[in-house]
Amino acid sequence: MYLIVFKKLFMFFYISERDKSRIILLVLTVLAWCKEMVEAIARRNEIQRLERKLQSLDQEVSVASSKKRKPRQAALTTLIEELMVQVQTLVAEVTWMKRQFILQLDPNPITS
């Protein structure tokens, strides 16, 4: 692209010095603008690549966090606590029934 611009620049060799300087300034401005555009496109492409990478990492984290066992463990802890309360209640009831059975066999436990 630069070569084409410079070839066209030499075509204007016979133009007055004032016009030549204007054309050269215009060409240099266009070249600088093209360089800035190439750099901007490269930055945009890098930003898009990083955004895609961030989205994929975000999806991996959300999938991993949805597979965590915290909710299951909370439910499991609650279940174990309820089972422990039921076992303690059953132990208390069995102890009471055992005392009642002993009392029925021997109504006066002090004398035995």
Q: What is the DSSP code (8-state) at residue 109?
A: T
Predicted confidence (pLDDT) per residue in 58-99, tens digit: 888 777 776 655 555 677 788 888 899 999 999 999 999 888
pLDDT score of 3:
61
**CA Rg value for the chain:** 44
C-alpha of 80 from chain center: 33
pLDDT score of 92:
92
Q: Is the pTM of this model over 0.75?
A: no
Q: Of the candidates 48, 51, 11, which has an alpha carbon nearest to the alpha carbon of residue 27?
A: 11
Q: Are 2 and 30 in contact (CB under 8 A)?
A: no
Q: Is 17 exposed, middle or buried (0-12, 13-18, 19+ CB in 10 A)?
A: exposed
Q: Of the candidates 7, 39, 5, 41, which has an alpha carbon nearest to the alpha carbon of residue 25?
A: 5
